[in-house]
A and B are shown apart, each in its own frame.
Chain A
Amino acid sequence: MRLQLFWRFLLVGLLAFGGGQAALPLVERIAVGETGWISPRTFADAVAFGYATPGPVLITATFIGYQVAGLVGALAATLGVFLGPVVLAALAAQQVQRFAQNRWLRAFGRGAAPTVVGLLGVTLVTLAQHTLTGWAYLAMAGVAAGLGLATKVNPLLILFGAALLGILLGR
């Protein structure tokens, strides 16, 4: 079972084109549809926890692994889902550095890098739509941007303050 957890999640990681969120339907297929490891309801909870914890949403694999086979299962699933992408990314760093002076790679980068800025804009707008649901939240985003641009305040402090303010606001 642990081995199966590892290789099935390894496959999820290697097929996750378009990032972690894009792979969630794939996780649903293997954990609910094909194996019946967990119920649809538990899967929905697992995804919600994936968003509520820091880091990548595919950390959902840790939760599923634990439900299926305890601590070792959690480790197997976690290692499986991140190993492939992490190694691929390091390989990319190595190859890009090796061909850094290549004219065509540089031309590719010149065209591709601005599109990444545009895609970050998509992330920003989507996030803002879901988050800035009132004036108070809009003001918090404004203050965070102002502090980030104009001061050297540690952003971790900004996030911590925002969490406290969020609790106060909701009460």
Chain B
Amino acid sequence: MSNPEAPSLLRLGWTFLKIGTFGFGGLAANLALIERELAERQGVISREEILESLTYTKLLPGSTGIQVVSYLGWRLRHWPGALVSAAAFVTPAAAAMLAIAALYGRFARLPDVNLALHGMAAAIVGLLVVAIWRLARPNVVDLTGAVLALAAFVVGYRLHLSSTWIVLLGGVLGIALELRRKGDAR
């Protein structure tokens, strides 16, 4: 079953067209915008589902941002939702890149563009803090979760271990804990 409250395909496409237009700075900005638009404003996707989409797409190859969009699109409107969402999301970037490719070599560097992007990136840092805070609350609910989050941060930041392995290790640890719990119950 699709979500009964799911937005129409048109609305979904429009939403991701907007997010795709302003998603400068990769995953960070996209995630902040998705959380704000779909969880906070429209209320059609829960924060657990957003983190779930990140969890499983990080295990798959490919650009995580567009995969989160495809995953959530499927949740809302199955295959048409996934394809429309992903296509709408990537259209602004592809159009911008086409324009750049067509003009490549013909224009000098545009310093103002870099300045604007730097300002935007600063704001994205702030918005990402908000998004992480909102996504963490329903998903990191006990000490085990907090320790796992901290451990993932340290391992990812200091050891540069690939995110695929970190998520996989976390999941295996979750299963190990469940096995132990099962043993206790007996």
Contact = CB atoms under 8 A, between A and B. Distances in A.
A89 B71 contact: yes
Contacts, number: 382
B56 interface: yes
Contact of B94 (A23, A78, A147, A148): A78
B125 A82 contact: no
Contacts of A1: none
B51 interface: yes
A166 B116 contact: yes
Interface residues of A, number: 99
Contact of B74 (A16, A53, A93, A149): A93
Contacts of A112: 55, 167-168, 170-171, 174
Contacts of B166: 115, 118-119
A144 B148 CA distance: 28
Contacts of B104: 45, 63, 67
B167 A116 contact: yes
Interface residues of B, number: 112
A119 B163 contact: yes
A119 B156 contact: yes
Nearest to A56: B63
Contact of A169 (B56, B67, B92, B115): B115
A84 to B, nearest CB: 7
Interface of B: 18, 20-33, 36, 51-68, 70-75, 78-79, 82-83, 86, 89-90, 92-94, 96-98, 100-102, 104, 111-133, 135-136, 139-140, 144-146, 148-154, 156-157, 162-164, 166-178
Sorted nearest first, the 5 A-B pairs with minimum C-beta distance are A166-B119, A111-B174, A85-B62, A144-B126, A118-B152
Interface of A: 13-23, 45, 49-60, 62-63, 66-67, 71, 74, 78, 82, 84-90, 92-94, 96-97, 103-104, 107-128, 130-132, 137-138, 140-149, 154-156, 158-167, 169-171
